[in-house]
Structure 1
Amino acid sequence: MQQLIIFGTGPLARLLHHLIETTTRDKVVAFTVDAAYKTCEQFEGKPVYAYQELEQHLATDNIKLLCAVGYSDMRARQQLFLRLKADGRRFYSYISPAAVVDSSVVLGDNSVIMANVVIEPFCVLGDNNLLWSSSTLCHDSTVGSHNFVAAGTTIGGCCRIGDLCFFGFNAVVIQQLHIADESLIGASALVLHDTALAGKYIGSPARVVSTHQDTGIRL
């Protein structure tokens, strides 16, 4: 059994708390947020501590941290993870017992793998990735860090996914493609060609409709 603290008090934090406590033997002991965002003393029946005061309340040496921040601002999600890592935090990963993750797969820190996800052999994933339910990552694909993959997405074999990408519901990427950093792939998009940096792609077949290099992905 592992003990962990969840960073965040939003819908994703609530969901992950429920999943961890109902599908694993691990235990959430508290929630934490930056002091400026602390608006309650308890969340889901657990104490909420200001991150800057965490060690005043808990001996954290043997407690891992799960960063549960959603996709509304992808760069902010990345920056928070990197700040916590620079603080020397050790991260917890949640892998649903209903997921199929081959034993050859390499997962980075702060991974969230939801129910019915399939990750085929010889895939490598970086840090802070979230794969939502019933998504599939086919064999020999590599995934960078800080990506969000919505439910039902399929990514073909031997693909290279960059950092900070977002895949909408039921998106499909065919095999052997390169999805550049900060690509936004819309719901039900069918990607048949490599993408360009910070492009938004929609449709079937997918086409680029805008870019967001200045702001990053915000939804």
Structure 2
Amino acid sequence: MIGTKQSNELKEEYIVIIGDGEFAEIAYEYFTHDSSYEVVAFAVEKEYMTKESLFDLPVIPLEEIEKLYPNDKYKVFTAITFTKLNRVRTRLYNDVKAKGYKFVSYVSSNAFVWRNAKIGENTFIFENNVIQYNVNIGNNVVMWSGNHVGHRASIGDNCFISSHVVISGYCKVMENCFLGVNSTLVDTITIAKDTLVGAGSVIAKDILEEGNIYVGSPGKSINKTVYEKFKI
């Protein structure tokens, strides 16, 4: 059974999950059954609160987190997906970090992570990811299930890697990117910040201009930027 080994261990640290949507529910499940962390609450900005509890745990106003769950006793994880090209998750991450909180990361016990790979804070790595030799993954990154990250590749802060993405060796993905399901990056290429790569696209050359959307095989830029698409 997935997570059996860790789910039976004594919980060592307490965390508050920022968010109460689908990703927050998934994060609760994974932290609870496949980590040494115990989730004690969820926190949401007051204007977006729609419930008082989730999984029999309190949903509190984010504005009151310092009073209810002080940063000397609790850590946090920001469970927001790629809303507005990762901007919402990044804003909340930075806001809570400014309050002095430390962030946890989750790496599935069913992921393969080579011993010298580096993984930043507030990063969530699902099952069946393969992260090879000397890979560097930044802060506030989400990697859904089944991706391959080749040797010496790097993924910048605030990226969202969907599922079954291939990032070949020596690739460099800059911050705030979104890589769609089954997309492929050929080895040694660089992807500029704020790039969106559509599902199934194959990128074989450097993308050096920021904010573009690429689709197809080979991937080509469409006549619309991410800033227009996401209204950012």
TM-score, scaled relative to structure 2: 0.89
* Structure 1 residue 106 displacement after superposition: 1.1
Partner of 2:162: 150
- Say if 2:137 and 2:154, in contact at 8 Å, map to a contact too: yes
Q: Which secondary structure state, in structure 1, belongs to the residue aligned with residue 121 of structure 2?
A: coil
Q: Secondary structure at the match of 1:52?
A: helix
User: Is 2:45 the counterpart of 1:34?
Assistant: yes
SS in 2 for 1:15: helix
Question: 1:66 is matched with which residue: 71, 77, 85?
Answer: 77
> Which amino acid in structure 2 is aligned with residue 99 of structure 1?
A
Given the superposition, is the C-alpha separation of residues 64 and 210 from structure 1 closer, same or farther in structure 2, using an over 3 Å criterion? farther
Matched, 1:113 2:125: yes
Other structure's SS at 1:210 match:
strand
Give distance in 1, aligned partners of 2:91 and 2:109.
Answer: 29
Q: Cα offset for 1:24? A: 2.1
Residue in 2 that maps onto 1:198: 211
Deviations 1:122-176 (A, max 9, x none): 1112110011101011000111100000110010000111011001111100100
Aligned-residue sequence identity (percent) comes to 28
Deviation at 1:52, TM superposition (A): 1.3
Aligned ranges 1:45-60 → 2 under 5 Å: 45-60=56-71
1:213 to partner: Cα distance: 5.6
Partner residue of 2:9? none
Distance 1:10 1:25, change over 3 A: same
After the TM superposition, which parts of structure 1 deviate over 6 Å for at least 4 consecutive aligned residues?
none
Question: Does the CA-based 8 Å contact 2:71-2:101 persist in structure 1?
Answer: no
Structure-1 separation of matches of 2:171 and 2:24: 30
Instruction: Name the counterpart of 2:101.
Output: 89
Residue equivalent to 1:168: 180
TM-score of the aligned structures, taking structure 1 as reference length: 0.94
* 8 A Cα contact 2:196 2:226, kept in partner: no
- Alignment partners' CA distance in 2, 1:8 and 1:143: 24
Tell me, in whole angstroms, the C-alpha distance in 2 between the residues paired with 1:13 and 1:98.
20
Alpha-carbon distance in structure 2 between the residues aligned to 1:51 and 1:80? 10
Counting matched residue pairs gives: 218
9, 15, 30: which one aligns with 2:20:
9
Cα 1:217/1:121, change in 2 over 3 Å: farther
Alignment of 1:94-105 (within 5 A): 94-105=106-117
Could you tell me how far apart the structure 2 residues matched to 1:20 and 1:76 are?
22
Per the TM alignment, residue 76 of structure 1 is displaced from its structure 2 partner at its CA by: 2.2
RMSD over aligned CA atoms reads 1.5
Aligned partner of 1:125 among 137, 145, 155: 137
Q: Kindly state the Cα deviation for residue 204 of structure 1 after the two structures are TM-superposed.
A: 0.9
2:196 aligned with 1:184:
yes
Quick one: distance in 2 between partners of 1:125 and 1:97? 17
Distance 1:16 1:216 in 2: 28
Structure 2 unmatched ranges of 5 or more? 1-11
Structure 1 Cα separation of the partners of residues 73 and 167 of structure 2: 36
